[in-house]
Amino acid sequence: MSTLPEFDFALGEAADMIRDTTARFSADKIAPIAAKIDAEDWFPVELWPQMGALGLHGITVSEEDGGLGLGYLEHVIAMEEVSRASASLGLSYGAHSNLCVNQLRRWGNAEQKAKYLPGLISGEQVGSLAMSEAGAGSDVVSMKLKASAVDGGYRLNGTKFWITNAAYASTLIVYAKTGEGSGGITAFIIEKGMPGFSIGQKISKMGMRGSPTAELVFNDCFVPEENIMGPLNGGVGVLMSGLDYERAVLAAGPLGIMQACLDVVLPYVRERKQFGSPIGSFQMVQAKVADMYVALNSTRAYVYAVARACDAGKTTRFDAAGAILLASENAVKCSLEAIQALGGAGYTTDWPVERFLRDAKLYDIGAGTNEIRRFLIARELIGAR
C-alpha cells in the first residue's frame, strides 16, 4: 500500500492496470525477500515464470508474438514497481525484458522471434545483452570481441564484461566485431551451451546485489549465420536504436528506489520521537520529506513523458539521456536524505535505506555514465543551434 497521496498523472487504463498488477505481485512476492536477495547476493530465478504468467516480460511485444502489445509507458510502470520492492531484481528485469526481449522484438526476424520469444516471455528462460568489455564501455566501437567468418557462420573469440544476468541467461544478444570501425559490428543471438561459450568470473558489486553480473568468454565459439540479428555489420545501428528505449525504461528503476525511500521514511518520522515529539514535526525533517516527494514526482513527470514520446515515435536521444540523468541523481539524493532522516538507524543494515543508496548509485553509471549523458545532451543541443 502506498504511503503517499496519489498524484494522478492520467497515464491511462492500461498503465493503471499494469501498476496495480505489478505492485501487488511485488509487495507479495518480492518485497519480503528483498533483504535476503541483497545479503546473500541471491537471484530468485524462480520468480521469473511467475512474472511471465502476469505478462510482465512481454509488455512491448505484440500479441501476435505472445506479448501484451502495450508500450514503453506500461513497461516503465512495471519497472518502477518491481524496483520499488527490489532494485536489483528490477535491474535484472529491465535487462531481460527490455535489453533482450524488446531488442529481439524490434530486430529479430520471424524465425528468430518464433524460436526465442516464447521462452523469454513466459519466464522459462532468462535473457541478457552483452555490449561492454573490460576496455570498452562508453566507447563501444573499441570492442575487441572478434567474429570471424567461417563456413556456415562465425567463430567468436574474446570476452564481454559487466554483463547483467549472464550466469542465468539462456539467450543473449551479443555484439562483436565483424569488420573495422563503427561499420564493422554485428549483433548475434547466443544460446547457453554453445560450444566455446562459457561464463567467466562473477563480479561482486557494492550494490545491486542479487542482480548477477559476470564475464562472458568466447573461445572459438561457432555461431550459425541464422543467429545474426539485424543486418551484417549493422550492429551499431541496432545498438543505438535501442539505447533511447533502454534509458527510458531503466530510468524507472530510480523512480522505484525513490518511492521505496518514502515508504520507509514517512512511517518512521511519524513514529520516532525526540524531545517528546515525533521528528516529523520538526521543520528540518519536514523539508527533507518535501524535497524527496518533489524529486520523485517531478522525475516521474519527465520519465513518463519520455516513455510516451517513445510510444509515439517522437523521443529524442537527449531527452532519453536526460530522463535517466535526472532520475539517477535524484535517487541518490533521496537515498542520502532517507539515511539522514533515520539518523543512526539509517546507517545500519537493520534498515533498508543504506541498500537503497548502494543500489541507486548504479544508475549514475549504467547505460552510459552521467558524464556521457551530459556530454550527449549538450552536444545535441549546441549542435542544433
Q: Name residue, grid cell 556530454.
A: 375
**What is the pLDDT confidence band of residue 181, given thresholds at 50, 70 and 90?**
confident
User: Which stretch of 26-40, 110-124, 282-296, 370-384 has the lowest confidence by average pLDDT?
Assistant: 370-384
Q: Can you give the pLDDT at residue 308?
A: 96
**Residue reference for cell 520538526:** 282
Mean predicted confidence (pLDDT) in 359-366: 95
The average pLDDT across 344-368 equals: 95
pLDDT at 31: 98
**Distance between start and end Cα atoms, the chain:** 47
Cα radius of gyration rounded to whole Å, the chain: 21
pLDDT at 244: 87
Mean pLDDT over residues 69-91, rounded? 98
Distances (CA, A) of 138 to 143, 191, 376: 10, 26, 11
What is the tens place of the pLDDT at every residue in 139-165? 777 899 999 999 999 999 999 999 999
Q: HSE on the CB side for 58, CA within 13 Å?
A: 28
Cα(103)–Cα(249) distance, integer angstroms? 13
Distance of CA 41 to the CA centre of its chain: 17
Whether the pLDDT of residue 79 is over 90: the answer is yes
Tell me, what's the pLDDT at 315? 78
Q: What angle do CA 158, 161, 167 make, to 5 degrees?
A: 100
Q: Say what the pLDDT of residue 4 is.
A: 67
Helix, coil or strand: residue 143: coil
CA nearest to 91, candidates 121, 126, 60: 126
When mean pLDDT is compared across 99-103, 199-203, 313-317, the lowest value belongs to: 313-317
For the chain, give the mean pLDDT.
94
Return the number of other C-beta atoms located less than 10 Å from residue 314's C-beta: 10
Note the pLDDT tens digit of each residue in 5-40: 778 899 999 999 999 999 999 999 999 999 999 999
CA-based nearest residue to 187, from 234, 220, 247, 155: 234
| Marked catalytic residue, from 74, 80, 81, 246 | 246
Partnered with residue 185 across adjacent β-strands are 177
Give the whole-angstrom CA distance, residue 291 versus residue 333: 10
In degrees, to the nearest 5, what angle opens at C-alpha 300 toward C-alphas 306 and 255? 110
Q: For residues 233 and 182, is the Cβ–Cβ distance under 8 A? A: no
Residues 206, 38: contact at Cβ < 8 Å? no
Output the nine-digit C-alpha cell for 84.
520499488
Q: Give 353's DSSP letter.
A: H
Does position 167 have pLDDT exceeding 90, yes or no?
Answer: yes
In this prediction, residue 381 carries a pLDDT of 87
The more confidently predicted of residues 135 and 263 is 263
Q: The dihedral of CA 300, 305, 311, 317: what is its sign?
A: negative
Confirm whether 246 is a catalytic residue. yes
For residue 126, pLDDT beyond 90:
yes
pLDDT tier, 2 (very low <50, low <70, confident <90, very high otherwise):
low
380: confidence class by pLDDT, cuts 50, 70, 90: confident
Q: Which residue has the cell 567468436?
A: 156
Q: Give phi and psi for 113, each to the nearest 5.
A: -60, -45
Question: Measured between alpha carbons, how far is 156 from 292 in angstroms, rounded to an integer?
Answer: 48
Separation between Cα atoms, residue 228 and residue 245, nearest integer Å = 21
> pLDDT tens digits for 218-238?
999 999 999 999 999 999 889
SS3 at position 196? coil
SS3 state of residue 183: helix
- pLDDT exceeds 80 at position 137: no
Residue 243 has a pLDDT of: 84
Quote the DSSP letter at residue 27: I
Question: Are the C-beta atoms of residues 186 and 234 closer than 8 Å to each other?
Answer: yes
pLDDT value at residue 142 = 80
**Residue 247 in this model has a pLDDT that exceeds 60:** yes
Alpha-carbon distance of 85 to 22, in angstroms, equals 10
- What confidence tier does 239 reach under pLDDT thresholds 50, 70, 90? confident
What percent of the chain stands above pLDDT 90?
A: 86
Q: Please give the C-alpha separations between residue 355 and each of 144, 293, 378, in angstroms, as whole numbers.
A: 35, 19, 32
Q: What pLDDT is stored for residue 255 in this prediction?
A: 98
pLDDT value at 1 more than 70: no
Helix and strand element counts for the chain (H, E): 13, 10
Question: In this model, does residue 384 exceed pLDDT 70?
Answer: no
Question: pTM to 2 decimals?
Answer: 0.95
Q: How far apart are the C-alpha atoms of 131 and 311, rounded to whole Å?
A: 25
Is the predicted pLDDT of residue 202 greater than 80, yes or no? yes
- Across 102-128, average pLDDT: 97
- The letter for the amino acid at 253 is G
